[in-house]
Amino acid sequence: MSAPIIRDVRVILTSPGESHIQKRLIVVKVETTEPDLYGLGCATFTQRPLSVRSAIENYLRPLLRGRDPQRIEDLWHLMHVNAYWRSGPVLNNAISGVDMALWDIKGKIAGLPVYQLLGGKCREGVAIYRHAGGRDEAEVVDRVRTFLKEGVRHVRAQIGGYGGHVEPAPAIAASFPGAYYDPAVYAQQTLALFDRLREEFGGELELLHDVHERLPPADAVRFAVEMERFHLFFLEDLFPPEQWAWFARARNLCATPLAMGELFTHPSEWMPLIEGRLIDFIRCHVSAIGGLTPARKLASVCEAFGLRTAWHGPGDVSPVGHAANVHLDLATRNFGVQEWSGFSDVEREMFPGCPETRGGFVFANDRPGLGIDLNEELARKYPCPEGVLVWTQARTPDGAGAYP
Ligand code: MG
């Protein structure tokens, strides 16, 4: 094979199986001059898909065509600084789509799965956690029971969605439609839910919970203290990124393990938390920080400070992005747990080679690269809908705008 060069960079948008604005997946395909040698990467930013597409098609594509796809480090830096103003979720997702595709290509050239390029397996399977949500305690308990029967050992429990749910007074809802929650009611209901869960399932089940920035900082500190008795695996997003300095207060008052990071896009956001050992798990969204290249470095920094990884893995990450997470998890010694949403039948058909779950673990296949492909013809049958998100229009009962 002669040395391949980048021939084209293409963007595929798809909303598999459900025409839903919260499932607008962005996959990048980097094609080379070698026939059949290409790579796939995830650039999914479901809230702003067209901005990411434009960043790739209008700016990264002309920057990258004709270059050597094997020089991943150099190309990552080039993409990162080329706009002079750097970082942010749009540009980082665009870079991630290319970055993962370059790792996929390198694996295919080497004839090795990406986890081998990252140092090889530290473990056979990747422990996952699933989401048990419900409108009331009984629904959540049922959901947890189902996961336990499937062999899952880590479960995140939420009642009424993030921050719970309240019906606002009609006069207020009429002026400001949105997703309403009451921070005090949410905290109370959640403590009661965890009492019930420990009563039903005992102490062995690994329980997790996501505060999703829904409490004022002082109330969040008290909540972390009150949750301490449930011995959580971790408590997530206790504060908004803007209020990160409050972690020191929570840290001094309780031993609840803390996880943070899905909204971060720049090292200046995560470094103070890592250096100060203010959190226990780093939870960045790998495509939002720029792909595998920065994520593996972040994992190594965390290892030095005793933190573990728990990469963000919601339903609006493409199967390509989930596969990249799994390869990274397999080769990271300080891996903690992987958030897992599962795939629909349409997703499995559209993305041949999806990682498979057995019991409470997910496994990568051993094909070269990321081991996953895309059926573009099928993807075209599920175009992305347009629309504006409602769940991020969060409000408290008086109608004031709140963190979603
Ligand atoms: Mg979260």
Instruction: Tell me the per-residue pLDDT of 291-332, one tens digit each, with 9 for 90 and over.
Output: 999 999 999 999 999 999 999 999 999 999 999 999 999 999
What is the domain partition of the chain in residue ranges?
6-113, 117-367
pLDDT of residue 132: 98
Task: Please tell me the distance from the alpha carbon of residue 404 to that of residue 276, in angstroms, as a whole number.
Answer: 27
Residues with CB in 5 Å of ion ligand 1: 210
C-alpha 298 – ligand 1 centre gap (Å): 18
C-alpha 345 – ligand 1 centre gap (Å): 25
Catalytic residue among 212, 285, 312, 327: 212
pLDDT in tens, 77-113: 999 999 999 999 999 999 999 999 999 999 999 999 9
Is 80 exceeded by the pLDDT of residue 19? no
Cite the beta strand spans of 187-332 per DSSP E. Answer: 206-210, 234-236, 258-260, 281-282, 308-309
- φ, ψ of residue 277 to 5 degrees: the values are 50, 45
Active site residue 212: yes
User: What share of the chain in percent tops pLDDT 70?
Assistant: 100
Is 90 exceeded by the pLDDT of residue 20? no
The CA–CA distances, whole Å, from 312 to 129, 221, 284, 316, 336 equal: 11, 23, 6, 10, 12
Task: Name the more confident of 22 and 62.
Answer: 62
Is 80 exceeded by the pLDDT of residue 49? yes
User: Which residue(s) pair with 9 in the sheet?
Assistant: 30
CATH superfamily of 117-367: Enolase-like C-terminal domain (3.20.20.120)
Is 90 exceeded by the pLDDT of residue 17? no
Catalytic residue among 162, 180, 181, 382: 162
Question: What is the residue-wise DSSP string for 22-36?
Answer: GG-EEEEEEEESSTT
* Residue matched to tokens 């595709």: 101
pLDDT-based confidence at residue 155 (cuts at 50, 70, 90): very high
C-alpha 283 – ligand 1 centre gap (Å): 8
pLDDT of residue 174: 82
Active site residue 20: no
C-alpha 261 – ligand 1 centre gap (Å): 8
- Which pair of tokens denotes residue 292? 């595998």
How does DSSP classify residue 231?
Answer: -
- Which pair of tokens denotes residue 321? 């992005």
How do strand 154-159 and strand 179-180 relate by DSSP bridges? Answer: unpaired
Is 90 exceeded by the pLDDT of residue 232? yes
Q: Mean pLDDT throughout 334-354? A: 97
- pLDDT, mean over the chain: 96
Task: Please tell me the distance from the alpha carbon of residue 120 to that of residue 389, in angstroms, as a whole number.
Answer: 40
CATH of 6-113, one of 3.30.390.10, 3.40.50.2000, 3.30.499.10, 3.30.450.20: 3.30.390.10
